[in-house]
Structure 1
Amino acid sequence: MKTWLWIGSCLALGQLAFVTQAQAQEAPVEESAGGIGEIVVTAQKKSENLQDVPISITAIGGEALGATQGTSLQALQSMIPNVQIDNFANTPQSAVFTVRGIGVIEPDPYAGNTVSIVVDGVPQFFSMGALLDLYDIDRIEVLRGPQGTLFGANTTGGVINVVTAQPKGEFGGHVKAVYGNYNRFDVTGSIEAPLVQDVLSLKVAGIHTQRKGWVTNVVDGTDLGRKNLDAARAYLRFTPSSDFDATLQGEYVNARNGSPIVISGAYAGEAIYQAPGVLNMYVSPCAGGGQCSAPDKYFGANNSVPDESNMDTWSGTLTMNLRNSGLGDITSITGYKKFRLREFTDQDGTPDFKNDTYRRTEGWQFSQELRTNLELSDSFNVLVGGFYLKNHYDHIQAYRLQFAAPGLLQTNLQDQDNYSISGFAQAYWQATDRLKLQAGIRYTHERTISAPSLITSIGNPAGSNYTGEGNTVIGSFTTGGRKAWNNVGWKLGADYEITNDTLLYASWARGFKSGGFTARVGVPADGATPFDPEKVDTFEGGIKADLLDRHLRINLAAFYTNYRDLQVAQIYFDRATNTQGNRILNAGRAEIKGFELETTAVPVEGMTLRASLAYLDARYKEFLYTDAVSGQALDLKGFRLQNAPKWNATVGVNFAIPLGNGASLVSDLSYAYTSSKFYTAILDTPRSKIQPTHLVDGTLTYKPEGGAWSIGVWATNLLDARYLSTVYDSPGYGGIAGYAPPRQFGASASFSF
């Protein structure tokens, strides 16, 4: 009852805002040209106006993405209510997405995902490489809350739906160049050429981006964290008739970046701590013993491994649409992806040779979705389909513990297969002119086969052997097993049009994340027993309103989530055996509640105001936890979930100043706030706490009449605030910290044809 009262009070707030604005609308309003434009999304696997979709969703168009000057999904961090987009502290190629407090902070694929990244209809199973490179994007849709009915398992937190700019069958293209500090240079562009008019069209898009790192290596003065990436995507679109189209697309990404940066966040006396007085050592950001704090100048250290993190990705997608068939509008999406990652990490982040890591991963996935949208009557339609996913990966992590014994090497080998098949149906009934009801169900069968092993050996004390080949083996074991899970998820919902431009909605959705086996093992027990699936029930209500002749938009969603058997990654270090262990634990239950408020206003022609406010209360309700270091049994009821800040807010203004002759000067200024959060420490330790962040970004762009070209200047983190972005806390062993980007600025030029 308290839950429904809480949701009801938040809805009342939204209704109050609506009533207030409706009253204001009764007063005479000077009509201005152009209100808030319609945004078309495919959040329910069909094209709809954003304001008609009864889901808490944020959509960002390609032009707005370009204005962020970011080249990956991480550019959206702090921009979207109740969404965190990060990476693991010492594996920047592995994405960490957390939506409404639900996420996985674990770099290896065995842990799975709770937020699904979907690219042109294809779910991306692996978190490695999931911080997608952004170029030639039509839009990104961020769906909050469980989306299991339409998007399948492992979407308990939500979905990030990326839609690339598809061919249009017309000749045209664009090119954009960006130059900035840290020797940044980007070139993006695309070109489309019809091969057979109105039948066959070819499009090619690409990106090159490079920059130096902003962390200085105290060992030799070089920069750490450089980036150098090339990617190309090609489409071939076939449209022989108005009832059928097929698009074949392929992409290759070549990343040749600097190795992961490790900042020693250790306290005095911990294993990776660099004693004071050693040549070139920098001050630890966690040296005070409490919460870590970023310095004015960023320093790190790498003296024992090559400075490289190389990743190659190949992917292909075939999408076919058949309309007006006897079985409805049929869509088939076939996807394949393969990747290879090789990277080195100086794990201690000090000028001493203490410990480091060599990681190599190869993986592939194949998926097939087939669905049809059946219009059974003027008021009733149902989406019915099936989905199949098969993936496999091989992984080696060679971890050298030089501080424990010269030449000591622990080599973890992972070999895992995952298989999933599901069937789903989502029905919509227009009960009255204004009331629509929906119900969906999905059955999923998943299976995992895992065979991880650990080999402990002694080799060259100088540490030149990264793979352990030829070493003297002093111990080994193999663990793992196979397990299958079945699940039924569902969604029930209703939405009601109060007016033509105001939608009130409510829903109950159950989501599911599959179980699995821990694969990065330190002892046989780590991977011998599977961890159980987790389940999520989310109750959500909201209001979407376009007011004042579509010059004001207010979207409010409130939610309550009952989170059961949630999977929590535990990384620990047993100093008695010099062994790093990893386990996925099932916490008993957590409770999450909050709201998201997003507003947009166009008070006068040429000016757009935007703001958002999100609140999140995410806490364990049942979690009896045994600390791996002390062996103490703890009751974590009331502890906050990881990567779940209580508040985040944004405010921004975009203003186009007419210059005459059709030219304009477009300015954009934005501010984003995220409150403090805990990161990679189940016990919410002081060292794992990330400070509140305040970020200001701005752009100034000149556009001539017609807008065929533009030039501009830009800056991110305009005030040059210094923050930590990640902290991995392992008490008794050490801390690993990562820094958020400092101020970046530069100029850009674009041309369309």
Structure 2
Amino acid sequence: MKTWFNASSRIALGAAALIAPQAVLAQEAEQQVGGIQEIVVTAQKKSENIQDVPISITAIGGEALATTQGTSLQALQGQIPNVQIDNFANTPQSAVFTVRGIGVIEPDPYAGNTVSIVVDGVPQFFSMGALLDLYDIDRIEVLRGPQGTLFGANTTGGVINVVTAQPTGEFGGHAKAVYGNYNRFDVTGSIEAPLVKDLLSVKVAGIHTQRKGWVTNVVDGSDMGRKNIDALRAYLKFTPGSNFDATLQGEYVNVRNGSPIIVNGSYTGEALYVPPGTQGMYVSPCAGGGQCTAPDKFYSANNTVPDTSNMDTYSGTLTMNWRNTGLGDWTSITGYKHFKLREFTDQDGSPLFLNDTYRRTEGWQFSQELRTNLELTDTLNVLVGGFYLKNHYDHIQAYRLQFAAPGLLQTNLQDQDNYSVSGFAQAYWQVTDRLKLQGGIRYSHERTVSTPSLTTSIGDPAGSNYTGEGNLVIGSFITGGRKSWNNVGWKLGADYEVADDTLVYASWARGFKSGGFTARVGVPADGDTPFNPEKVDTFEAGIKADFLDRHLRVNLAGFYTNYRDMQVAQIYFDTDTATQGNRILNAGKSEIKGFELETTAVPVEGMTLRASLAYLDAKYKTFLYGDPLSGAVIDLAGYRLQNAPKWNASFGANFVIPLGNGAELVSDVNYTYTSSKYYTAILDTPRAKIQPTHLVDASLTYKPDGAAWSLGLWATNLLDSRYLSTVYDSPGYAGLAGYAPPRQWGGSVSMDF
């Protein structure tokens, strides 16, 4: 009779094909006697078994991530409990991350982030480009709840910690090619070669991905939303001895996509409503006047702007580690990133010339973190460090409002600097063999300098002029200001090992997001007054348990969040002045509570089952909202927060089927469910409601015995369900809708060497 230990090699292969949200193989570890392998994470800035970390975490390994066939973080949408990964309706390059109902739905950088994307230790300040291109990834750790003590401000919702596959000092590599419908073609790979054995090693990894779009342009029948991305990442690792190593890495990403797709979501009688009988027009998914519904065939229109969305990103990171210095183990992480984004958007999504935009952004960030991990005694460990961040961006939006007046152009300029410095400490006290206490504190000082402006002019009625040069200027203003904020955040927690492989924990964490200035201004008053910081107190308790000799894993976390002065982005249209207004409101108070349950089971040799269930009750508790259209003050107490579905669930199964002669066939199927949610509408309007989604993904992989290559078949959205993914609702003006991907399928071949 085969033992569980002998079965573990097959189980590990099955785990590598997982595409579910439950924590999977995140880093190679020694084989354990049992069915579920140890997972190592760095959620507390040190390497630990995920079951020993008192935080609600989902970890996804690089091989499992590759099996999703996604090329960006958006491929994980719906697969991680209480986590939403989307984009703004008309700016697909701008990420919208929401964790436990906490997130920012605004395309421009002035709004900041509440969920921090951290890549190899470097926080990514800009949401533009934050839907990272995923290739050669070691693991992704999703930390839910405030993480301000260790990861700094702007983590009131949580952290998505991305760790790329670092050099090992050994020769090797891999290559993979994928082909699918919509003319999709991907090539990814990496190669590492030691230049000087045990001293200096170089590694290069890259990706090319391209596909056609799945939305048809009714103007000329062309496809809309095409993708074409190239990225290259290189490493140089220097290891002169066991106590020191340094890794220099750089990356270039070249994006040459089609312009953002706008699906006309207007109701009958609204400013952008186009009668269905109009030449070349399609029926709006929102034409019924209530909740928008995705059609069987996806249509949109672009007849006024170039089909262009280009982005170039350059980044570099230097990581140095000193061990056993007498003052602890030191880590220094220096990061720099620079990007340029240029794109055009037909804002009305119709064959008429009503309105469109030209947007160009250039920004950079520099960060430095220095920390040490001190073992003061056998029972007391302290992590102490400091962090510095400086960033700047310039942005232009040229918005043509042909429907309001022929040749009317609004040119918004943004020029903003942000500065942050902080010091932090977190201590862990092993009181007994089973009881551990922790306490952390972080002081932050942040400053913003903003000088936005708006010029309104009238020029070429044919709409060929985006620069405004030679136009008749009918109004202009400059606004903005300078403001600083200070904050002290903390975390207190305790965990207790009630039995072997069973940990219970509880914590109280305070998160902070600094204030700022509205920079995309249409009304001077919106940019004159800064919006206030927001603060979050989250109380969390949970259990992490392995049963049946590590053949059953159950992780459960419950939480309650008190959310004060929540920053809410508002986009509105001033009909009196034909001006688009933007501002950040501070909602008085919100209350969020819920739970996350994740399970993995290995009942028999070659079978791995996993499931997750999340519940979220996220509502305003105090919010007197001034409606810009009616002028009325509306009490929004009890209204649901945006992008916060009540239920999120998944179930998956993985089977490793022996074929004889050592060959194996790995099959995997995964189902995810996300209940309805409201998107980009403070008033929870019917048009802003996104329908419940049910998605099924599947894959089949053949691997010969001992061979370095494998063949795979895959499908996402296997049942070809049609859904909306985003809706921006501006009552009385426009609705901008976006469609979720239809069924995609294809094959792959990969090789390791």
Q: The TM-score by the shorter chain falls in which range? A: over 0.9
Equivalent residues of 2:608, 2:655 under 8 A apart: yes
Task: Note the C-alpha offset of 1:469.
Answer: 2.2
Alignment of 1:630-641 (within 5 A): 630-641=630-641
Q: For residue 546 of structure 2, what is the aligned residue in structure 1?
A: 546
Q: Are residue 747 (structure 1) and residue 750 (structure 2) matched?
A: no
Q: For residue 305 of structure 1, what is the aligned residue in structure 2?
A: 305
Equivalent residues of 1:358, 1:467 under 8 A apart: no
SS in 2 for 1:587: strand
Q: For residue 502 of structure 1, what is the aligned residue in structure 2?
A: 502
Q: For residue 655 of structure 1, what is the aligned residue in structure 2?
A: 655
Q: For residue 29 of structure 1, what is the aligned residue in structure 2?
A: none
SS in 1 for 2:323: strand
Q: For structure 1, which segment, 115-124 or 456-465, has the greater mean C-alpha deviation from structure 2 after superposition?
A: 456-465
Cα-to-partner distance string for 1:218-263 (whole Å, 9 max, x where unaligned) = 0000000000000000000000000000000000000000000000
Q: For residue 96 of structure 2, what is the aligned residue in structure 1?
A: 96
Cα-to-partner distance string for 1:537-568 (whole Å, 9 max, x where unaligned) = 00000000011000000000000000000000
Q: For residue 63 of structure 1, what is the aligned residue in structure 2?
A: 63
Alignment of 1:392-471 (within 5 A): 392-471=392-471
SS in 2 for 1:687: helix
Cα-to-partner distance string for 1:467-516 (whole Å, 9 max, x where unaligned) = 21222211100000000000000000000001120000000000000100
C-alpha distance in structure 2 between counterparts of 1:197 and 1:554, whole Å: 43
Q: For residue 738 of structure 2, what is the aligned residue in structure 1?
A: 738
Q: For residue 580 of structure 1, what is the aligned residue in structure 2?
A: 580
C-alpha distance in structure 1 between counterparts of 2:467 and 2:194, whole Å: 50
Cα-to-partner distance string for 1:356-391 (whole Å, 9 max, x where unaligned) = 000000000000000000000000010000000000
Q: Are residue 122 (structure 1) and residue 110 (structure 2) matched?
A: no
C-alpha distance in structure 1 between counterparts of 2:620 and 2:128, whole Å: 28
Which ranges of 4 or more aligned residues in structure 1 deviate by more than 4 Å? none
Task: Note the C-alpha offset of 1:706.
Answer: 2.4
Cα-to-partner distance string for 1:8-38 (whole Å, 9 max, x where unaligned) = xxxxxxxxxxxxxxxxxxxxxxxx9751001
Equivalent residues of 2:103, 2:113 under 8 A apart: yes
C-alpha distance in structure 2 between counterparts of 1:79 and 1:228, whole Å: 25
Alignment of 1:191-590 (within 5 A): 191-590=191-590
Q: 1:530 is matched by which residue type in structure 2?
A: P
Task: Note the C-alpha offset of 1:604.
Answer: 1.1
SS in 1 for 2:65: helix
Q: For residue 682 of structure 1, what is the aligned residue in structure 2?
A: 682
Task: Note the C-alpha offset of 1:705.
Answer: 1.2
C-alpha distance in structure 1 between counterparts of 2:272 and 2:155, whole Å: 37
Equivalent residues of 1:33, 1:605 under 8 A apart: no
C-alpha distance in structure 1 between counterparts of 2:459 and 2:232, whole Å: 42
C-alpha distance in structure 2 between counterparts of 1:335 and 1:722, whole Å: 41
Cα-to-partner distance string for 1:692-735 (whole Å, 9 max, x where unaligned) = 00000000000111251100100000000000000000000010
C-alpha distance in structure 1 between counterparts of 2:88 and 2:304, whole Å: 21
Q: 1:406 is matched by which residue type in structure 2?
A: P
C-alpha distance in structure 2 between counterparts of 1:555 and 1:115, whole Å: 22
Q: Are residue 155 (structure 1) and residue 124 (structure 2) matched?
A: no
Task: Note the C-alpha offset of 1:270.
Answer: 1.0
Equivalent residues of 1:40, 1:47 under 8 A apart: yes
C-alpha distance in structure 2 between counterparts of 1:318 and 1:142, whole Å: 23
Alignment of 1:25-174 (within 5 A): 34-174=34-174
Task: Note the C-alpha offset of 1:83.
Answer: 0.1
Cα-to-partner distance string for 1:31-55 (whole Å, 9 max, x where unaligned) = x975100110000000000000000
Q: For residue 17 of structure 2, what is the aligned residue in structure 1?
A: none
Q: For residue 609 of structure 1, what is the aligned residue in structure 2?
A: 609
SS in 1 for 2:149: helix
Q: For residue 28 of structure 1, what is the aligned residue in structure 2?
A: none
SS in 2 for 1:156: coil
Q: Are residue 643 (structure 1) and residue 643 (structure 2) matched?
A: yes
C-alpha distance in structure 2 between counterparts of 1:623 and 1:631, whole Å: 15
C-alpha distance in structure 2 between counterparts of 1:405 and 1:706, whole Å: 70
Equivalent residues of 2:34, 2:549 under 8 A apart: no
Q: For structure 1, which segment, 234-243 or 703-712, has the greater mean C-alpha deviation from structure 2 after superposition?
A: 703-712
Equivalent residues of 1:508, 1:538 under 8 A apart: yes
SS in 1 for 2:64: helix
Unpaired runs of 5+ residues, structure 2, are 1-31
C-alpha distance in structure 2 between counterparts of 1:699 and 1:469, whole Å: 55
C-alpha distance in structure 2 between counterparts of 1:549 and 1:691, whole Å: 41
Q: For residue 29 of structure 2, what is the aligned residue in structure 1?
A: none
Q: 1:751 is matched by which residue type in structure 2?
A: M
Equivalent residues of 2:33, 2:549 under 8 A apart: no
Q: 2:428 is matched by which residue type in structure 1?
A: Y
Q: 2:372 is matched by which residue type in structure 1?
A: T
Q: 2:139 is matched by which residue type in structure 1?
A: R
Task: Note the C-alpha offset of 1:449.
Answer: 0.1
SS in 2 for 1:276: coil
Equivalent residues of 1:34, 1:605 under 8 A apart: no
Cα-to-partner distance string for 1:95-149 (whole Å, 9 max, x where unaligned) = 0000000000000000000000000000000000000000000000000000000
Q: For residue 182 of structure 2, what is the aligned residue in structure 1?
A: 182
Q: 1:725 is matched by which residue type in structure 2?
A: S
Alignment of 1:703-714 (within 5 A): 703-714=703-714
Cα-to-partner distance string for 1:726-747 (whole Å, 9 max, x where unaligned) = 0000000010000000000000
Q: 2:391 is matched by which residue type in structure 1?
A: N
Q: 1:584 is matched by which residue type in structure 2?
A: I
C-alpha distance in structure 1 between counterparts of 2:211 and 2:485, whole Å: 45
Q: For residue 11 of structure 1, what is the aligned residue in structure 2?
A: none
Task: Note the C-alpha offset of 1:195.
Answer: 0.1
SS in 1 for 2:463: coil
C-alpha distance in structure 2 between counterparts of 1:258 and 1:531, whole Å: 35
Task: Note the C-alpha offset of 1:465.
Answer: 1.1
Cα-to-partner distance string for 1:258-312 (whole Å, 9 max, x where unaligned) = 0000000001111111123211100000000000000000000000000010000
Task: Note the C-alpha offset of 1:662.
Answer: 1.1
Q: For structure 1, which segment, 470-479 or 730-739, has the greater mean C-alpha deviation from structure 2 after superposition?
A: 470-479
Q: 2:739 is matched by which residue type in structure 1?
A: Y
Length, aligned pairs only = 722
Q: 1:691 is matched by which residue type in structure 2?
A: Q
C-alpha distance in structure 1 between counterparts of 2:686 and 2:618, whole Å: 18
Cα-to-partner distance string for 1:513-536 (whole Å, 9 max, x where unaligned) = 010000000110010000000000
C-alpha distance in structure 2 between counterparts of 1:270 and 1:401, whole Å: 15
Q: 2:662 is matched by which residue type in structure 1?
A: G
TM-score normalised to structure 2 length: 0.95
C-alpha distance in structure 2 between counterparts of 1:629 and 1:177, whole Å: 52
Q: 1:194 is matched by which residue type in structure 2?
A: P
Q: For residue 9 of structure 1, what is the aligned residue in structure 2?
A: none
C-alpha distance in structure 2 between counterparts of 1:467 and 1:108, whole Å: 20
Q: For residue 8 of structure 2, what is the aligned residue in structure 1?
A: none
Unpaired runs of 5+ residues, structure 1, are 1-31
Cα-to-partner distance string for 1:303-327 (whole Å, 9 max, x where unaligned) = 0000010000000000000000021
Q: For residue 25 of structure 1, what is the aligned residue in structure 2?
A: none
SS in 1 for 2:139: strand
Q: For residue 27 of structure 1, what is the aligned residue in structure 2?
A: none
Q: 1:389 is matched by which residue type in structure 2?
A: L
C-alpha distance in structure 1 between counterparts of 2:701 and 2:425, whole Å: 47
Q: Are residue 719 (structure 1) and residue 714 (structure 2) matched?
A: no
C-alpha distance in structure 2 between counterparts of 1:491 and 1:209, whole Å: 42
Q: 1:315 is matched by which residue type in structure 2?
A: S
Q: Are residue 618 (structure 1) and residue 618 (structure 2) matched?
A: yes
RMSD value over aligned CA atoms?
A: 0.7
SS in 1 for 2:340: strand
